A and B are shown apart, each in its own frame.
Chain A
Amino acid sequence: MRAVRKVAIIGVGNSKFGVRNDVNIAELAFEAVKPSIEDAGITAKDIEFVALGSTGAGAWYEELLPAVVSAEYCGLTKAGLTRCEAACASGSAAFFTAYAAVASGQAEIAMALGVEKMREIDSPTAMEWIGRAGYYLWEFHNFGLTFPAYYALYANAHMAKYGTTEEDLALVAVKNHKYAAMNPIAHLQNKISVDDVLSSMVIASPLKLFDCCPMTDGSASVIVASEEKVKELKIDTPVWVAGIGYASGTANMSKRKDYVGLEANVLASQMAYKIAKVTPNQIDVAEVHDCFTIAEILAYEDIGLCNKGEGAKLIREGQTEIGGKIPVNVDGGLKAKGHPIGTTGCSMIYEITRQLREEAIEKSRQVPLKNYVALAHNVGGTGHYCYVTILRR
């Protein structure tokens, strides 16, 4: 069906996530680029095309052309260069762009680089910028919908229809904080309890502070190469791109058909499974988009890790922990590792690549592999964009 070249991931790097007021955008990019180039065993000059994922250029940080300043700072100037915007899925859009450059035969080696700085401005202003990311004219201008509020609309509808509770949502946060505490690059490394979540301040009902991911600074870099280059460079453990699926949803929330799932999740995952020729039960480890706790529950159902309406049951039974049916977000997820918006997609790929190579940063959170297949599910906005990437060792 798709006559494209095989593409492998040959190098990955990830900066420390957190409040990184010690570095500017280019210096932060460097912290991911350098280890990814060393991991691949190449030089910056070998990289023919760079796709950068970032959404806050000129808004929550000062540079308008982050791809250009990052490329110059990291020795990547002269490579083909672009910035990809798919809101919180910008990193995955960048990964798709780098993948496509190699798969098409246009390039032999390409880089996807996610970089975001969200903490140079105050929180209400950050909330303003992110809230505007939907349909400004019709849903923000008069109504001030915030990003937590978009997902809160889904949370209330899901709770009403399927009996999902605030405690169920809290369990997602508890799990993801538990794994973040084992991940030295995570932003929030504190373990929390269900009571901590339930007693935290309401942000947009029913979502409370600990149902929400933090605003994080961070970068992640992924280098991809053709099969010929993998052989030439004698890469030990190439991780192959088995399939990428994508889809989108309406800008206006009022135009969605229901509020209990994201249609873009369903369409993108089905496309990825079909191309990769795998079924959800063959996935050894998954990264799903948990910007809010409800988003992880929606993802379980939408990408087929369980039936519709059974997401809460999956988390209650501990099936998404290591040792369960399908471990999810064992790096801490967006919820606790952090969510530097344009970086997240690349950071998900970083994590599942390390998992598939059986070199998760801390051995305690290495998932046992059976099929050597992993999945990254990355949503932009509230199902405005979705990318699902399946990797195989």
Chain B
Amino acid sequence: MASMPSIKSREIKIVQEMPISKTLKFWEGLKEGKVYATKCRKCGRLYFPPSADCSECLCSDMDWVELSSEAEIETFTHVVFRPTSFCEYKPYTVAIGKLKEGVRVLAWLTGFKLSQIKIGMKVKLVAKISQEGNPTYEFVPF
């Protein structure tokens, strides 16, 4: 990379502790195989990703609702050139699916060959634990 004369900066390692107190039920739910959204008690708007506050009416009184699993693929891409923290993974497919409740979910799509994936196809949204042990969710074949 650097053929020009240069000196190295001091090295630091950055790991942030990301608060999840307000969406804890969502993260706990993933471990139980459930994908939760939130719904505003005042205006009825449904939120995925789950939100503790309503950006529509600014109300903070929200219900937790479990999402149905059927989704229709709206778009996708197969990520070949990966970022540093994903280099240990094989190339992966990311898709956006629309649920019948009207919210969209962005997640990995697994269990298909790339050539089989078509916009408009029906897939299933499931909760799971990632290869690294993190609670997550993905689209899989029905």
Contact = CB atoms under 8 A, between A and B. Distances in A.
A202 interface: yes
A128 B86 CA distance: 9
Q: Is the interface of A mostly helix, strand, loop or mixed?
A: mixed
Contacts of B77: 149, 152-153, 155-156, 204-207
Contacts, number: 116
B31 interface: no
Question: Interface size bucket, B side?
Answer: 35 or more
B96 A253 contact: yes
A157 B117 CA distance: 12
Contacts of A259: 74-75, 96
Nearest to B76: A156
Given A62-B9, A142-B134, A146-B81, A254 B106 contact: yes
Given A21-B2, A156-B76, A143 B81 contact: no
A79 B130 CA distance: 51
Contacts of B74: 157, 258-259
B82 interface: yes
B78 A204 contact: yes
Contact of A143 (B1, B9, B48, B108): B108
Contacts of A128: 83-85
A17 interface: no
A124 B80 CA distance: 11
Given A157-B74, A157-B119, A254-B49, A149 B94 contact: yes
Interface in A102-145: 119-120, 122, 124-125, 127-128, 131, 135, 137-139, 141-145
B67 interface: no
Nearest to B18: A137
B6 interface: yes
Contacts of A202: 78, 80
Contact of B87 (A21, A124, A205): A124
Contacts of B85: 128, 144
A252 B106 contact: yes
8 contacts: A131-B83, A138-B49, A144-B83, A144-B89, A146-B79, A204-B80, A258-B74, A259-B96
Interface of B: 1-4, 6, 9, 18, 48-49, 74-87, 89, 92, 94, 96, 103-108, 114, 119, 130, 134, 136-137
Given A125-B84, A155-B77, 7 more contacts: A124-B82, A124-B83, A143-B106, A202-B78, A204-B77, A205-B114, A254-B48
